[in-house]
Chain A
């Protein structure tokens, strides 16, 4: 085995906040060899981004390296001088990260930013540099390199910007590429293309890559080896196929079970609880309180990274050597009952030819020309009770606008919305108020949708106050609803800042459910949550639907999630309906080319070698 290009040894990095040290990465050891792709998977708080930045020795001012080294070419980068680092960065190790729109200098042309790297590290200037810049842009599959090079970042799309970032990273001809969630900020189809590009480039250039993501499926597409991080510690590390098919750590197992699969209708399983952030958590196994297989030893002593068998597969579990104890990956969970056709008799919600317009450019003082942009065009569908209709599309498809128009948060330009037999667009103030108690909405970002100054009790009780429910009854209804979303009485007096992302979303759901609505619009309800928490929220939603008989309009760009819960699917692009029909048909035999493109773009969990065509 050749020497590793990068060796991270026992790295422990903590952040000082308010005088207390919070560990973000603990005892991380990892090597990267030439030409290999290592995928690092973790949810929020896992420390994956911190680890990557530590390799570049680019940590914020309040970061403290408590222990460990990062060796590259014999030098410990963490203790190297700025001059040394300047020679390594961009030339030997390059980095690409999440949001390309902010990562490029808005005041410089894209070509100039790439040329900077050439001048700095390869002493290339003038015409030679220009040529090479164009070559690089071609390499990342951008057409018309001269035009792109002369453009400013804001003139390019998100996908193009990310390709520019990749070209810029490759410009210095580095041996190592670090990628931190490079596709997360992009639309599904663009994501797939960029991932393809990375795969192609890796085949051509053979640089070593560290690919960090929360998306296990995306990592599965590229990685030779996979490392799983949790709460700052490395839980499992091994060859990709082994980790995905025979995971030895309970967390990895749980993570795999939590990922919604587009290939089959199998309800994902969440991992109860949330990751600990207690600075003292390393005295025992950090996963112990959420693990389904804990024993006493797990709570009292910290496991070391053990190799259950040869082959370089390590696992941080006291029972790593006994894979049978932990059991196989959970099998197929019962799929949902077949449709009850009788419920379709009178749909709860019937929408015909709905159009919504935006006015752009209102002019000065409301005068002046404004042109209308059609965000939603001619959309029609029916939603019976106890059904889930999913509206899928990429950004700009109009799906969120549609949702808001249904609740009259945005005025519709044309069309009819009929709810329980009544014409929503014709409602007067009184009827509108009543409608708003029976139709609720849940938003994507739980941090943004809860007022940080209110307590959970206030938030959940407020809709009841509006309805005029007397105080004595309110408390019991709030408690009942909280219980239904899995929260206890202890949460009543807490503020959103004291809750985790999953808990906040439960509170948002409780607020929506407390008035027992007939229709709930869910705008990307799980997108902002960790995948292990997503599944529990989805379970909750389905339970609630069965119990109360409400209907859901689910807005999502995540087709795998949609696959698990939707009865019917409506595919939108640029404001129009491409296709609508029962979920099995849409996923099984889609007729519209755009739908097919969308489905093909979703990364699946099997590594490419084992993948059948979907």
Chain B
């Protein structure tokens, strides 16, 4: 009830377009990663000093970098690392955050207060900085980066999931469950969790994108994927040094990262609208 004189029917397809577009880009990103695991036009580390920093051509669709290596091949080959960073960090963050959020949101009380104070303090450290803290201890590397980003993402998930848990727990069906003597674990996982999936899926999708960027940032800083391996973040770092000479080596990984992030964001937002639409049709 927030608008004025009757307007023509709004175009609902706008929402689905987000979802479709996002899903499409996401699938593309995943395809690139999967394909790259097995195949690339050239070996990613194949050096060709005669064709360095070349512009795109039929032979090299995305050009070559400063060592004459085919950019497309490197994008394909390094893709799985960047995608793994995104998914791995998100999965880990959820694996830690979800049980904590369910337990504290359901039980409330003193423990909840202490944990949330803790979480609030953690949230005051930006994700990247937190990841850096963890890397200091673990050292650089792909696996370490996944761990670091995963742990860094968990407080945010605790916050988000907990507010969904609190919302679900305020419904009478949770009180009804307590009234018939259900165990705490059943209520958390059997009654509350189904209501909480929606925000998890939405925030999870969006987070994959951001974790991917975070991972690329770590790699850019030299703290993620280590040489001689490469992922999109490393490629950007390498490309930056020669940017005044040629920006083509930058384009490939930049496009890959942007497309993936936009894809996951749109997917998440599209899902958010979709999942809500299905929920609130019948309100007596």
Q: Tell me whether A and B are bound partners.
A: yes
Contact of A436 among B110, B173, B180, B279 (CB under 8 A): B180
Q: Does B6 contact A (CB under 8 A)?
A: yes
Chain B residues in 8 Å Cβ range of A452: 195, 279
CA distance A61 to B176 in the complex (A): 38
Given A18-B12, A57-B5, A60-B1, A44:B176 Cβ within 8 A: no
B182 touches A365 (CB 8 A): no
CA distance A384 to B249 in the complex (A): 85
CA distance A441 to B12 in the complex (A): 41
Given A18-B12, A441-B179, A449:B110 Cβ within 8 A: no
B176 touches A443 (CB 8 A): yes
Chain A residues in 8 Å Cβ range of B12: 18-19
The A-contacting residues of B in range 1-58, CB under 8 angstroms, are: 1-10, 12
Q: Does A112 contact B (CB under 8 A)?
A: no
Total CB contacts across the A-B interface at under 8 A: 106
CA distance A451 to B2 in the complex (A): 29
Q: Which of chain A's residues has its CB closest to B110's CB?
A: A366
B281 touches A17 (CB 8 A): yes
Given A61-B10, A451-B194, A365:B110 Cβ within 8 A: yes
Per-residue B-contact encoding for A331-365, CB less than 8 Å = 1, 0 else: 00000000000000000000000000000001011
Q: Does B227 contact A (CB under 8 A)?
A: no
Q: Does A437 contact B (CB under 8 A)?
A: yes
CA distance A334 to B191 in the complex (A): 43
Chain B residues in 8 Å Cβ range of A365: 110, 113-114, 117
Chain B residues in 8 Å Cβ range of A449: 171-173, 175-176
Q: Does B228 contact A (CB under 8 A)?
A: no
A500 touches B284 (CB 8 A): yes
Q: Which of chain B's residues has its CB closest to A79's CB?
A: B5
Q: Does A293 contact B (CB under 8 A)?
A: no
Q: Which of chain A's residues has its CB closest to B112's CB?
A: A366
Q: Does A440 contact B (CB under 8 A)?
A: yes
Main secondary structure of the interface of A (DSSP, over half): mixed
Of the stretches A62-70, A136-144, A164-172, A304-312, the one at the interface is: A62-70
B173 touches A450 (CB 8 A): yes
How many interface residues does chain A have, given as a range? 35 or more
Chain A residues in 8 Å Cβ range of B282: 497-498
The A-contacting residues of B in range 162-177, CB under 8 angstroms, are: 171-173, 175-176
CA distance A504 to B283 in the complex (A): 12
Q: Does B178 contact A (CB under 8 A)?
A: yes
B3 touches A437 (CB 8 A): no
Q: Which of chain B's residues has its CB closest to A458's CB?
A: B190
Q: Does B181 contact A (CB under 8 A)?
A: yes
The B-contacting residues of A in range 364-381, CB under 8 angstroms, are: 364-366
Chain A residues in 8 Å Cβ range of B284: 44, 447, 500-501, 504
A462 touches B5 (CB 8 A): no
B9 touches A64 (CB 8 A): yes
CA distance A2 to B81 in the complex (A): 81
CB distance from B172 to the nearest CB of A (A): 4
Chain B residues in 8 Å Cβ range of A123: none
CB distance from A465 to the nearest CB of B (A): 10
CB distance from A411 to the nearest CB of B (A): 13
Chain B residues in 8 Å Cβ range of A61: 2-3, 7, 10
CA distance A500 to B114 in the complex (A): 42
Q: Does A592 contact B (CB under 8 A)?
A: no
CA distance A451 to B192 in the complex (A): 9
CA distance A348 to B262 in the complex (A): 64
Per-residue B-contact encoding for A440-484, CB less than 8 Å = 1, 0 else: 110111011111111000000011001000000000000000000
Contact of B3 among A60, A85, A366 (CB under 8 A): A60
A437 touches B181 (CB 8 A): yes
Chain B residues in 8 Å Cβ range of A436: 179-181
Contact of B179 among A17, A409, A453 (CB under 8 A): A409
Given A365-B110, A437-B180, A82:B4 Cβ within 8 A: yes
The B-contacting residues of A in range 288-314, CB under 8 angstroms, are: none
CB distance from B239 to the nearest CB of A (A): 47
CA distance A323 to B270 in the complex (A): 56
CA distance A451 to B7 in the complex (A): 35
Q: Does A16 contact B (CB under 8 A)?
A: yes
Q: Which of chain B's residues has its CB closest to A65's CB?
A: B6
Chain B residues in 8 Å Cβ range of A432: 181
CA distance A63 to B113 in the complex (A): 45
A463 touches B9 (CB 8 A): no
CA distance A433 to B180 in the complex (A): 7
Chain A residues in 8 Å Cβ range of B175: 409, 443, 449
Q: Does A542 contact B (CB under 8 A)?
A: no
Residue of B10, B114, B181, B283 with most partner-chain A CB within 10 A: B181
Contact of B181 among A433, A451, A498, A511 (CB under 8 A): A433
A409 touches B4 (CB 8 A): no
CA distance A366 to B7 in the complex (A): 52
A59 touches B5 (CB 8 A): yes
CB distance from B270 to the nearest CB of A (A): 16
Q: Does A407 contact B (CB under 8 A)?
A: yes
Per-residue A-contact encoding for B172-209, CB less than 8 Å = 1, 0 else: 11011011111000000001001100000000000000
Contact of A64 among B6, B109, B110, B171 (CB under 8 A): B6
CA distance A63 to B1 in the complex (A): 10
B194 touches A60 (CB 8 A): no
Chain A residues in 8 Å Cβ range of B3: 59-61
CA distance A249 to B282 in the complex (A): 29
Given A365-B117, A437-B181, A497-B281, A62:B171 Cβ within 8 A: no
A448 touches B113 (CB 8 A): no
CA distance A73 to B253 in the complex (A): 67
Q: Does A78 contact B (CB under 8 A)?
A: yes
List 21 interface pairs A-B (beta carbons < 8 Å), by A numbering.
Answer: A16-B10, A53-B1, A58-B4, A61-B2, A61-B3, A62-B9, A65-B6, A78-B5, A82-B5, A365-B117, A409-B178, A436-B180, A436-B181, A437-B181, A440-B179, A445-B172, A448-B171, A450-B173, A454-B194, A498-B282, A504-B284
The 5 closest A-B pairs by CB, nearest first: A449-B172, A453-B194, A436-B181, A61-B3, A501-B284
